[in-house]
Amino acid sequence: MAKTQPILVTGGAGFIGSNFILQWLATEGTPLISLDKLTYAGNLSNLEQVASDQRYSFVQGDICDRKLVQNLLARHRPSAIVHFAAESHVDRSIHGPDDFIRANVNGTFALLEEARAYISGMATDEKSRFRFLHISTDEVYGSLEPDEPPFSEATPYNPNSPYAASKAASDHLVRAYHHTYRLPTLTTNCSNNYGPFQFPEKLIPLTILHASEGKPIPVYGDGQNVRDWLFVEDHCSAIRTVLSLGRVGETYNIGGKSEKPNLEIVRTICTILDELRPHDPVVPHKNLITFVQDRPGHDRRYAIDTTKIDRELGWRPRQTFDTGIRSTIQWYLAHDGWIREVTSGAYRQWIATQYSM
Ligand code: NAD
Ligand code: DAU
């Protein structure tokens, strides 16, 4: 990768994208352009600390806008596209799938088409260095029974929610662009992330907020659905590893080797908050746990087999769930300004729609 060439990051104002940009600028020398539509989930204040870094520039725009993408590629000549931009919340995809098809399927298609046109004008060695890195999810594999082995890269796709189906469709497009046009693609399928800057519609930040404010903590169904939790900075380091060392055309599964039922996650957060916030409105915080109606089609269990990325690329997570969850809770407690900013009227409307609270 030539030192002066930037990378183009899509969805850089979201949860994982902004953590990735902060880590990239702290560890890599190369500049970076962030393209983000700034939907409800995108927030430029996540990147306040690098706003004046000469290596970082931001463009507000839609990945479906092909002219814009074409111009950005022609003007900045990035050595890679790291593609995070997506609608990412399963519950919202159940209420309204349209946005998910548009952003996740049509948006990825638009980027692939423009990337294909972009590399067609490159010399062979420049082309061979270019990478299209597509960030995807373990949800494309469907749901595991309690005794089934974790998802590997060979597990057949079986997406169950509109969100998962839209991500699966985008993964298939990426695969086809490598197979048919030799676009130098890489795909990562990661498990549930948690950490700073996660929008409080997702389980962990929602629980921290509701518990500390004395509001009911909604647990879907019996609370025994299992997810494999990974601290977001570990996901970002895995993406950097795949970008520099991954074999073109391959997919890599990323996970935390940290399978936990939702009820255990919620109880752990409550216990830590009892210690850190003994004067909150409701203590013990676990008294706020409220079982609510289950998510339609709720996948029972996800788990990731990380053998491939570990053996081939030498990546493994650094944080345990115990260390990661404590620092995440501390981050949320220290950033009430950020929370106030993101939990605006539109957020309150979503909570009212989803939980009838
Ligand atoms: P997020 O919802 O926090 O952020 C998504 C970002 O994409 C936002 O900044 C939003 O403004 C932007 N965006 C949406 N549509 C856009 C469009 N049409 N054009 C330009 N920008 C657009 O999501 P996240 O949790 O950070 O997830 C990022 C990616 O990682 C997604 O592709 C998601 O599928 C994948 N992923 C997420 C997790 C997780 O646990 N959060 C796990 C595995 C994979
Ligand atoms: O597995 C990777 C996926 O993880 C990503 O692809 C998605 O973008 C990301 O949103 C996440 O999806 P989940 O649906 O697993 O995350 P969420 O935080 O919404 O839910 C986690 C679990 O907690 C899930 O089993 C549903 C449950 N849950 C969630 C919410 C919001 C509750 O019990 N109560 C809630 O209020």
Residues with Cβ within 8 Å of 269's Cβ and at least 6 positions away in sequence, in order, are 204, 207, 208, 211, 285, 325, 329
Instruction: Quote the DSSP letter at residue 197.
Output: T
Q: Which of 9, 10, 15 to mutate to test the pocket of ligand 1 (most atoms within 8 A of CB)?
A: 15
Best mutation site among 88, 262, 347 for ligand 2, i.e. most ligand atoms within 8 A of its Cβ? 262
Q: Tell me, in angstroms, the distance from the centre of ligand 2 to residue 295's CA.
A: 10
pTM beyond cutoff 0.85: yes
CA distances for 256 relative to 155, 269, 276, 302, 317, angstroms: 18, 18, 25, 11, 6
Nearest to 74 by CA among 105, 118, 111, 33: 118
| pLDDT score recorded for residue 357 | 52
302 lines ligand 2 (CB under 6 A): yes
Q: Which two tokens stand for residue 58?
A: 């931001």
pLDDT in tens, 35-73: 999 999 999 999 999 999 999 999 999 999 999 999 999
At 4 the pLDDT is 80
Residue 17 CA to ligand 1 centre (angstroms): 7
- Nearest Cα residue to atom 11 of ligand 2: 192
How confident is the model over 222-269, as pLDDT tens digits?
999 999 999 999 999 999 999 999 999 999 999 999 999 999 999 999
Of residues 118, 141, 163, 332, which has the active-site annotation? Answer: 163
